[in-house]
Structure 1
Amino acid sequence: MNLTQEEWVSQLNTDPNAVILDVRTEGEFSEGMIAHSLNVDIQSGQEFVNTIDALDKTKNYYVYCRSGMRSAKACEIMNQLGFKNAYNLSGGIVGWQGEVVVP
């Protein structure tokens, strides 16, 4: 499900079951990320699928990438793997108005 930044942040801040997932490359991630993000590179192919599939499917995942395209694809994959709640940040971190931290 695609959410605007306002919707994404609003839901995230009131969700005790939330996990923030950054699906960019390790290099992109190291340049700056949304606080408390877990980095799983969608471009790592089967490794991405294996890592994602091993995550707790009862959690709610707030997913982002650089522009929102890779994270939209990641949400599709997650839905196919049985995740009920995967929320894509429309516009990605490029349009992010909040704090960005260096890991």
Structure 2
Amino acid sequence: MADLSQKEWAEQLRADENAVILDVRTPAEFQQGFIPDASNIDIYRGQQFMAELEKLDKSKSYYVYCRSGVRSRQACALMNGLGIEKAYNLEGGIIAWQGEVVR
């Protein structure tokens, strides 16, 4: 897992052809606004969340965020534990995000 600054996360995401953006907030939070092309898997769903992670393609790179960066850091650690090596946490989460947001 790597904690990336806003700038590092955005630059690496743009350059990565294998990138998947993952929002681990609740569906209600997701509906309030999300980073374009993000998929939503709610970390609070426990075992269901783990089951969704297990379905992910381990060859892809996952750019993970939440509201403030805490849940996404936990999600990245869980992903690493499942063999997903390229999981990148967005420091500061969407509340610090300077880029585009879909509302």
The Cα shift of 1:81 comes to 0.4
The Cα shift of 1:52 comes to 0.7
What does 1:81-96 correspond to in 2, within 5 Å? 81-96=82-97
Q: 5+ unaligned residues in a row in structure 2: which ranges? A: none
Matched, 1:67 2:73: no
Could you say what the CA RMSD is over the residues aligned between the two structures, in angstroms? 0.4
Size of the aligned set, in residue pairs, is 102
**Is the partner of 1:29 in helix, strand or coil?**
helix
Question: Moved runs in structure 1, 4+ residues, more than 4 A?
Answer: none
Q: Within 2, Cα distance between the matches of 1:53 and 1:23?
A: 15
Identity %: 58
Q: Within 2, Cα distance between the matches of 1:28 and 1:13?
A: 24
The Cα shift of 1:68 comes to 0.1
The match for 2:54 is 53
The Cα shift of 1:21 comes to 0.2
**Is the partner of 2:53 in helix, strand or coil?**
helix
